[in-house]
Structure 1
Amino acid sequence: MNASNLRAIARLLPVLVLVAGAAGCDRSKWNEQSIRDGGFRVLMLPQPHYEKRQLDTPIGTITAHLYSMELRDSVFGVGYSDYPEQVLRLMAPRRMFTDVRDGWMKRINGRLQGEGIDIRLDGTYPGMEIVASGTVNGREAYLRGRFYLVGNRLYQVVVFGNRDTMPVADVNRFLSSFKLIPPREVSDITIQPTPDKKP
């Protein structure tokens, strides 16, 4: 596997996030969504949109999962994918985060504020936080994201949208609320996939 293949794999999820299309929701009550299969919990509006895709890569199919919601012209999303061990052996975590970051920049024609800050999840798992501006569907957009590698699972916790209307307090609350679920803990809420719309 060469370096270009590794970069292609790391950049897959931004494609899913940008084309998913979060379902609009005018309910204002945030609550904790516990996603047992994804191994995480996060504050979101009730019944976030769920999308699952099989993404073809140079080393086979990778499944990408996305939970998202829309609020005031901004999309809040948590995406994750499990990567093969051979990818992790060949790519250090920061290199993976950098390639994911670059994938986002390409998708939104973005400009980074800094290079990305090294962070930790639960004081243990490596991560990166980015802030950027760019364009989505021809409109100026602002993006904040945090990437984490937990074992072989890459999480992307991202908010992007109209900077003028983006609810900053909600962005901070959303990003800070992302937590791992202990393996033996039973989830409080099970989110079912959103039914496909018939044409």
Structure 2
Amino acid sequence: MTYLKRKFFMKNLFVALFVLTTSLTATSQVKATAFPDAGFMAAFPTKPEVEKNQIDTKVGKIQSTSYSCEGEDFVIVLSENVYPAELITKLGDTGVDGILDGVKNGAIKNVEAQMEGKYAPTLDEKYLYNEKYKAIRFAGTTAEVDMEAFCIVKENHFFIVILMGNTKSEAATQFVKSFKLIEK
């Protein structure tokens, strides 16, 4: 191999390795941001808009904080709702199951109203998140728009995550994989 060919080959090899390394590094560097006051961490694809509300209900004041962001073809909404601790204790497991069902039914009704279509479920299951927190996950389609959601109850904190649109996009999938509760 002549000197020029070798130099050209080495330069192209260096560029190819640089591009490969950079793309692998960029893909693996999805960083989760901790929200310690809310008790979770997640890798939002873009900086989320944060909105705080206090809701007066028959059972007391509920503190609600929502984190939302949009991707190219999806929307993520994460809501943390803090119920009065004594209420959750009083409700027990049956009451918490009722709240989980209420969250699911309320989300479905909202999607049906917004999308003006009937919800067709593809997933509906209760499970234990981290093998200790009651949770529900559900998914379906309304007017050709996909939705995936899960709700986790940790003590008197309810975390509700809803993805709409292309729920299988890489950024949406990374977000779901990165979501973790922060244990104290």
TM-score relative to the length of structure 2? 0.71
CA offset at residue 93 of structure 1? Answer: 2.5
Contact 1:30 1:46 in 2 (8 A): no
Cα deviation code 1:105-130 (max 9, x no counterpart): 11111524256212222121110110
Give 1:54's aligned residue: 54
CA apart distance, 1:148:
0.4
Gaps of 5+ in 2: 1-26, 113-117
1:133 to 141, 145, 166: 141
**Alignment-derived partner of residue 106 in structure 1:** 109
Q: 2:44 maps to what in 1?
A: 44
Does the CA-based 8 Å contact 1:72-1:167 persist in structure 2? no
In structure 1, C-alpha distance between the alignment counterparts of 2:83 and 2:174, rounded to whole Å: 28
Partner of 2:12: none
Structure 2 distance, partners of 1:76, 1:88, is 30
Give the Cα separation in 1 of the matches to 2:95 and 2:102.
11
Q: Which runs of 5+ in 1 are unaligned?
A: 1-27, 184-199
1:150 partner letter: K
Q: SS at the partner of 1:44?
A: coil
Q: Give the deviation of 1:30 after TM superposition.
A: 4.2
SS of 1:99 mapped into structure 2? helix
Determine the structure 1 residue equivalent to 2:182. 181
**TM-score of the two chains, using structure 1 as the length reference:** 0.66
In structure 2, distance between residues paired with 1:146 and 1:67: 15
Aligned counterparts of 1:178 and 1:120: Cα–Cα separation in 2 = 15
Retained in 2: the 8 A contact 1:31–1:45?
A: no
After superposition, the C-alpha distances for 1:141-191 in whole angstroms (9 at most, x for unaligned) are 221001100001100111113x4xx543333322222111132xxxxxxxx
Question: Alignment partner for residue 116 of structure 1, among 112, 124, 136?
Answer: 124
- Please list the CA deviations of residues 41-71 of structure 1 after superposition, one character each: whole Å capped at 9, or x if unmatched: 0111242211111223223331110112100
What is the CA–CA distance in structure 2 between the aligned matches of 1:119 and 1:159, rounded to whole Å?
Answer: 19
What CA distance in whole angstroms lies between the structure 2 residues aligned with 1:125 and 1:87?
13
Give me the identity figure in percent.
23
- Distance in 1 (CA, whole Å) between partners of 2:168 and 2:161 is 16
Do the aligned partners of 1:31 and 1:43 also contact (CA within 8 Å) in 2? yes
In 2: Cα distance, 1:48 partner to 1:155 partner: 16
Give CA-to-partner distance per residue, 1:76-107, whole Å, 9 cap, x none: 12211111222552353322111100001111
Which residue, 158, 171, 174 being the options, matches 2:162? 158
Which structure has more relative contact order (CA 8 Å, sep 6+)? It is 1
User: Which entry has the higher C-alpha Rg, 1 or 2?
Assistant: 2
